[in-house]
Amino acid sequence: MGQALARLAELARATSLERAQDEYDALFVGLPRGELVPYASFYRTGFLYERPLAKLRGDMEKLGFARADGIYEPEDHMGALCELMSLLISGGEGRGPAELATQERLFRQHIAPWGERFFTDLEQAPSARLYQPLGTIGRLFMSIETQAFALAA
């Protein structure tokens, strides 16, 4: 993990904002689409806006979360899911940390089924230079979280 973080820092210092944006577009946007589609629905069903998104929206509503105004991407984007987990762990937006059982349930239902595979794909994506160590960090983090929740049980 430390080596991947150091590599990410090194690459970030040496990468222009324009180059980082170009890499992001090649990986996640592209024509007709990027190399990777960072949505749970796509990874789990092969299509966007499917059952995993509907389940996530229901769970978010129960937890008092909703998509921010002006954001049109589906909520099952890996970045959004990581941000949601961060809010559950540390609190924020006027709330304290969620109970460990709530954190674990969200992780197991919405991230664990596809997270490690997504980050492995990012780690190995041909266009990933700056994002390659982020793939490594994400893959390792998914493994650590899975093990940590198992130990807490």
pLDDT surpassing 80 at residue 37: yes
**Around 34, how many Cα atoms within 13 Å sit in the side-chain half-sphere?**
20
Q: Residue 65: how many CA atoms within 13 Å on its side-chain side?
A: 22
Using alpha carbons, select from 64, 87, 84 the residue that is nearest to residue 74: 84
Average pLDDT for 11-16: 98
Is the pLDDT score of 124 beyond 90?
Answer: yes
Q: What pTM was computed for the model?
A: 0.92
pLDDT for residue 30: 74
Contacts of 121 (CB under 8 A, 6+ apart): 36, 135
**In this predicted structure, what is the pLDDT of residue 94?**
86
Q: What is the DSSP annotation of 4-44?
A: HHHHHHHHHHHS-HHHHHHHHIIIIITTTT-S---BHHHHH
Q: Virtual CA dihedral for 69, 75, 78, 83, nearest 10 degrees? A: 50
Q: Hunting for tokens 């904002």 — which residue is that?
A: 17
State the pLDDT confidence band at 72, using cuts at 50, 70 and 90.
confident
On the question of pLDDT at 113 being above 90, the answer is yes
3-state secondary structure 61-104: HHHCCCCCCCCCCCCCEHHHHHHHHHHHHHCECCECCCCHHHHH
Write down the pLDDT at residue 112: 97
Q: 33-49 in b/e burial notation, b at 16+ Cβ within 10 A? A: ebbbbbbbbbbbeeeee
DSSP state of 118: H
- With 90 as the cut, is the pLDDT of residue 79 above it? yes
